[in-house]
Chain A
Amino acid sequence: MKTLTLIATLFFAMHISHAAPSKYEEAMQENISKLYASRTIEEYQEVINKFDRIAAMEKDKWEPLYYAGFGYIMMATEAKEATVKDKYLDLALEKINGGKQLVPQESELIALEGFVHMLRVTVDPAARGAQYSGLSMQAFGKAVGLNPDNPRALYLMGQMEYGTAQFFGSDTGEACEKLKLAVEKFDTYVSDNPLAPAWGKGGAIAAMERCQ
């Protein structure tokens, strides 16, 4: 009887393991938490390496590429030299483009691409403003178009609009509306993908608070 219960339990366990995290998901979850906890270039590089290892094996998954790209973006924000920042942004774009080949219409990837262009502007606003702010707004627009509920796309787009409006001394109303909407979406939007990105809420709240 005992054995029977055991076997039954085992079977049950096996059955629910279908719904329980796979090895891929488990490894990803662990890494994603590590990525969000990283602060230094070395820490980011280490966790990017892990995403790279997963990506090399899971050739049809876009998430490892997304997070590797996000890691390089964070490295770029940590880097001091303009040439180094550019190098990390190039690598981020390479990962993002890899992801886009698998899922060309993924709003999160397009929003991340816009983020790369946005950071290019900050490297040299005078020389690059015109070209890259246009490219980033285009990407954010497309990301919002693909998923109007994507809080990160709304947040980044609002951020970009806010910065532009502030630089030119024009009305920030529209930008602030977008940031407010982004904060709402961060609370309400739930993706059906357990590995979907979750970053950005803190930044969006901080950005919205600057509006008041």
Chain B
Amino acid sequence: MRDTITIFILLLTATTVFGQTEISGLVTDNRGEPVIGANIFIVDSYDGASSDVKGVFKFSTSEQGAQVLRVTFIGYETYETSIELSGENINLTIALTEKVDRLDAVVISAGSFTAGEESSREVLKPLDIVTTAGATADVAGALNTLPGTQKVGETGRLFVRGGEGSETKTFIDGIEVLNPYSSSAPNTPGRGRFSPFMFSGTSFSTGGYSAEYGQALSSALVLKSKDVPDETRTDISLMTVGADVSHTREINAGAFAGKLQYTNLTPYFEAVSQRLDWERAPQSMEGNFMLRKELNTKHELKLYSNFSWSDFIIYQPTILDGSIKDKIDLTNNYQYINSSLKSIINDQWSVRSGVSYTNSIERIKFNGVKNNEREEGVHLKTVVANDVSEKFSLQMGGEHFIRNYAFEYAALPDGKLGFDQGLTALFAEVDLYTSNRFVTRAGVRGEYNWMQDRFYAVPRLSVAYKTGENSQMSVAYGQFNQTGRNDLVRVKNDLEDEEADHYIINYQREGDGRTFRIEAYYKNYDNLIKFTQTDNPESYNNHGNGYAKGIDIFWRDNKSLKGVDYWLSYSYLDTERDYRNFPYAAVPSFASGHNFSAVFKYFINALKTQVGGTYSYSSGRPFNDPNLDTFNSEKTADYHDLSLNASYLLKSNIIIHGSVTNVLGLDNIFGYESSEQTDENGQYVLRAVKQPASRFIFLGVFITLSKDKSVNQLPTL
């Protein structure tokens, strides 16, 4: 009996021994480093374990026979293997393969600054555009504090890396915008037509950009319109320069937003003395309308439109005799409509298509003589994207531009100049991730210009390599072409496109609230338009050329000083061009060798106030003194500006904002204009181009009315 029991017990123990299999092993990555916290388990059972700090794991299972062992870990491909469970110990060494994860992977950063809400890796936040002191809530104003830009204070435009203002193109939701700046009197800065409050993302490329964007020699500014939020609210702004009201309303599967704005500078100019002699200070009326609607789960429609009207009358003294004044009477009408449709076909395929219409009519009476300019354009675009896998994606598209430009001026032989341009373009681009550390983007763009009857094919290439957890290097190369400026092409329609090659190398380090970027570039300009006589088409050709090279440095830190966020940028630029009416290669008058900006922002919790300051410096800019034998050989004094701003949260839905530019009241000179004729001594007379007033002071109250009392305009200030 006792024996039977012993045998029974023995048998019992034996089955338990046979029934339990011990599985142990090591999990590593493909470089042999241990993977900590990997999940190792038998599929369809609870049995498993996690790897420890040495990558080691061990567990036992009562499962029997052929089973599947699965190993999973964040950022790695799932590993599976068949095992035979027979009670015998199993020891495994498992090497996991890193998964390419676009969010974690290296990004192409050469030449590009992006501001977006989603990723915590962005260099800038959308909010930065509007809280930068001195920018006065102007997109170009804020981007002018980034490296790669030159301060050209009398225009308000973006001059990038030795390029002219017209070499920067603006796109909204991928669709081109013509004439993106409001009209201004000669030598006074214009503002961007598009309020930064309307955009959730900004991508500012200073070179080497994607094949998707064409007809831009130096820079692409890509704005992503905000998804109108699903809420109902009304915002009212009262400002020293005018007022606006906007309303957002939730509609079925989407939202609608409208904004009306009226500005009039008369009261301000009465209060703060101006250097300029205004008969009627600038005033404008503007309407913005946006709509977002999900047609169904796969199709989303977005509409964005801007209508504006502005006018002013100004007297400008002639250079030769200050007592004689030219009267400039300007009225501008502008309409921009953009609609885009985003369709998701399936997991892999998606289609973005859009159409825009721009109509800009500028009526100028120069001493009573008609001087009208009109530009009308249509842009159609479709982009098809295919995410073949996490490692490989493809995008291709086609676009067509129609642009009609007319300039009416009584003194012209026909009273009119202009052109009709048609342009068809195709582009394709691939992104290939060899690993999480290495990405290559290669693209090509072909354009057929119907007006010139010419075809252009340009390649674009960027690669980026992650050198460490938080650092990466990228290089980019690209060829770019752009039809010449309207005021040149209107004289001779069949001028070829101007061309530029970009070579960029970039290093970036980010992490722990700090960002460091350094970028060096070389740009080669060719086919630039040259002429000797402004009105003689025979004298126009494409024989101009030039170069630009430089270094851009950016440092941002919101960690070291509590509550303080600041950035510093420095740009060095060396450039010369032989173009337009230059007698030989020279530094153009918009180019300054050294540009520096320091921007700081500080939120004082106790006062519920954010204060900010921006200091900008620009070394002297060249100008031409026609009394000398040399061309563009003289230099202005250096430029300095200190601007401050503050926003105070009065109540949860009321914000008071104030800003002052050029606090120190420095008398900056942007350049010199010269008289067309000589004076009685046979000398050309020079006149300094200065700021229209030494300071600009802005005060505003922003009120939000909504059901949720905590909502205010802070996110937009």
Contact = CB atoms under 8 A, between A and B. Distances in A.
B15 to A, nearest CB: 20
B46 A57 contact: yes
A170 B708 CA distance: 13
B512 A52 contact: no
A49 B39 contact: yes
Contacts of B44: 56-57
Interface in A112-141: 123-124, 126-131, 133-134, 137
Interface in A63-89: 81-83, 85-87
B649 A56 contact: no
Contacts of B603: 126
B581 interface: no
Interface string B422-462: 00000000000000000000000000000000000000000
Contacts of B512: 81
Interface string A170-190: 100000000000000000000
Q: Please report whether the interface of chain A is mostly helix, strand, loop or mixed according to DSSP.
A: helix
B53 interface: yes
A42 B53 contact: yes
Interface in B39-71: 39, 41, 43-50, 53, 70
A57 B61 CA distance: 15
B669 to A, nearest CB: 37
A77 B39 CA distance: 22
B36 A42 contact: yes
Contacts of A49: 37-39, 41, 48-50
Interface residues of A, number: 36
Interface stretch (B119-127, B299-307, B350-358): B119-127
A205 interface: no
A142 to B, nearest CB: 13
B74 A56 contact: no
A91 interface: yes
Contacts of A128: 117
A39 to B, nearest CB: 15
Nearest to A85: B120
A194 interface: no
A23 B62 CA distance: 14
A82 B120 contact: yes
A54 interface: yes
B46 A168 contact: no
B494 interface: no
A133 to B, nearest CB: 8
A53 B120 contact: no
B543 interface: no
B325 to A, nearest CB: 48
Contact of B651 (A85, A86, A131, A168): A168
A62 to B, nearest CB: 17
A134 B43 CA distance: 40
Interface string B681-717: 0000000000000000000000000001111101100
A45 interface: yes
A96 to B, nearest CB: 16
A106 interface: no
A202 interface: no
A4 B247 CA distance: 81
Q: Please report whether the interface of chain B is mostly helix, strand, loop or mixed according to DSSP.
A: loop
B652 interface: yes
B415 interface: no
B608 interface: yes
Contacts of A169: 608, 649, 651-652
A164 interface: yes
Nearest to B39: A49
B72 interface: yes
B511 interface: yes
Interface in B14-54: 36-39, 41, 43-50, 53
A85 B119 CA distance: 11
Contacts of B49: 49
B141 to A, nearest CB: 19
A168 B649 contact: yes
A51 to B, nearest CB: 10
Contacts of A127: 117, 125-127
B583 interface: no
Contacts of A57: 44-46
Contacts of A82: 120, 513
A57 B63 CA distance: 14
Contact of B41 (A53, A87, A133): A53
A165 interface: yes
Contacts of A165: 652, 710
B557 to A, nearest CB: 14
B231 interface: yes
B186 interface: no
A175 to B, nearest CB: 10
B317 interface: no
B665 interface: no
A134 B229 contact: yes
Contacts of A27: 46
Interface in A1-42: 23, 27, 42
A137 B230 CA distance: 13
Given A49-B50, A130-B715, A164-B710, 17 more contacts: A45-B36, A46-B37, A52-B72, A53-B39, A53-B41, A53-B47, A56-B44, A56-B70, A124-B125, A127-B126, A129-B715, A130-B711, A130-B714, A133-B710, A164-B652, A169-B608, A169-B649
A-B complex: 7 closest residue pairs judged by Cβ atoms: A168-B652, A130-B715, A45-B37, A49-B39, A127-B125, A82-B120, A46-B50
22 contacts: A23-B46, A45-B36, A49-B37, A50-B48, A52-B39, A53-B39, A56-B44, A57-B45, A81-B512, A83-B121, A86-B119, A90-B103, A126-B603, A127-B125, A129-B714, A129-B715, A130-B714, A130-B715, A131-B715, A134-B229, A134-B231, A168-B710
